[in-house]
Amino acid sequence: MILTVTLNAALDITYRVPRLEPRASHRVREVAERPGGKGLNVARVLGALGHETLVTGFTGGPNGDRLRALLSEVTEEGPVGDAFVAVGGDTRRTVTVVDEASGDATVLNEPGPQVTPAEWERFLDVYGGLLHDATAVALCGSLPPGVPVGAYGTLVRAARTAGVPVLLDTDGEPLLRGLAARPDVVKPNSRELAGITGTTEPLRAARLAQRRGAHSVVASLGEDGLLALTPEGVWRVEPPRRLAGNPTGAGDSVVAALLSGLVEGLPWPDRLARAAALSAATVRAEVAGEFDRVLYEELLPGVRIDRQMAAV
């Protein structure tokens, strides 16, 4: 079982409009609701890849009830287990507005419910128990108010103590604190990597992140693909062609690909090829947590993987 942690889960609401124009009234063509948050997106992609997944984090209030009801529905992505911890506040919403004319997406993220110290301690107890049956764990996304800024460091250390490989995907100070706990993999994008290292040169920034504690760094570079620094080598990875669409959730598909490859025992080049193809196929899906399977299988054989140097 692969465990994904979404401390700041969300009820995702996606609006589709013919064209998004500032200071204008819009007629919404279509509305979709989904359980949201990075770890939930990762779990859905893992389910579609055939892996048993379990999600945990915090939910509460009417939005949380709706999220859990949607999560319990059987979908083509496969079942996702629910081990969320209830809180007194209401789960946040994220609103995505998709401009059908351009394919661009505008995302509005609410801050999340206030988590009390007692609720955080209750979560730590649940998380510790779930690690016993986990083959890998992903720690994903932002922290809700009230959760300590060093939360991911605490969760990384717990996973390492339990002997469970752990991937961290967050940004800012929570990422810095998490790096110090030595996660097996971190998956920042180029902006997040620059934010914690002070440099926009991807290879230099990834090296700095590795020196801060990560065993491996896989950086999403948008249309330029991926950069991976691992104990086995350094690679640049690109899909065979660039695709227009909605990039929301593409990074989460990278996380799912890396985790699935890890538990399947795939070598790094195969994990990275899967990650690049899945990420590209995700931009053609309507919502995060989905990907175009036909396109993914078409792209996978053509992913370009260039080994730049030996192990670091």
Question: What is the set of active-site residues?
Answer: 252
The phi and psi torsions of 97 (rounded to 5 degrees) equal -110, 115
Residues 6+ apart with CB under 8 A from 113: 58, 60, 61, 87, 88, 89, 90, 91, 92, 144, 145
Under a CB-based contact definition with an 8 Å cutoff, are residues 305 and 237 in contact? yes
The neighbouring-strand residues paired with 83 are none
Question: Exposure pattern of 138-157 as b/e (b: 16+ CB <10 Å)?
Answer: bbbbbbbebbeebbbbbbbb
Residue 258: burial class (beta carbons within 10 Å; 0-12, 13-18, 19+): buried
Pairing of strands 233-238, 304-309: antiparallel
The separation between the first and the last C-alpha atoms of the chain, rounded to the nearest angstrom, is 30
